Amino acid sequence: MSVTLDQLVLFVGTLAVAILSPGPGVIAVSQSAFALGRRRALPYGWGLALGASLWCLFALLGLTVLFRVLPWTFTALRLAGGAYLIWIAWQMWRHAADPLPDPLDARMGMSFPGGMALNLSNPKPALFYSAVLLSIFPSVLSAGDKAVIYATALSVELAFYTALASLMALPWLRRRYYASKFWIDRGAAALIGLLGLSLILRL
């Protein structure tokens, strides 16, 4: 195996810094944990983690090469992803005044498949992963190397979203959410909508 421990540590550190920047997944899983609690938010967070990690796998398999050869494929994914984020934002905005959902019900796609769909709606992580992989690891990677790198990315994503869903479901944070549900939901919707719009406009 040509991948070293030092390279993996650097990869984990770079990925952790990138994940901590607010994005649609962070906003959505936080809002899910507030509204539905830890038990329902965790599968959603794991779906988000898997969806995000798949962009690493796609980059390892050469998706960014396809984007360079056929730029319209990235444009198509970007427009479709931005439209999906705006739709999610509209649903959150429209339901902000609704009563709190039954914790047994999945709301607005807040399920494992819904989490995957949300993080797969943004193709930018494929470019991020591609740049990071090229800057940290050797240009030629074996199948074993790629498996180790993907397993590392998946582990980091799972750890982050598990921790975030658990933290945001703490009772005192949920009580704050209950007291300000309308404005928190509207704020989350506005942020996700702006992220979707920026994806479409390439801001």
pLDDT at 165: 92
pLDDT at 46: 95
**DSSP collapsed to 3 states, 7-63:** HHHHHHHHHHHHHHCCCHHHHHHHHHHHHHCHHHHHHHHHHHHHHHHHHHHHHHCCH
Distance CA(11)–CA(129), nearest Å, equals 10
pLDDT at 104: 44
Cα dihedral angle (122, 160, 102, 82), rounded to 10 degrees?
-10
Rounded mean pLDDT for each run of 10 residues along the chain, 203 residues in total: 87 84 80 85 93 91 77 82 82 74 53 89 80 80 91 95 92 79 80 80 69
pLDDT at 22: 65
Residue-range domain boundaries for the chain:
5-201
Question: For helices 38-60 and 112-120, what crossing angle results, to 10°?
Answer: 40
Distance CA(184)–CA(74), nearest Å, equals 32
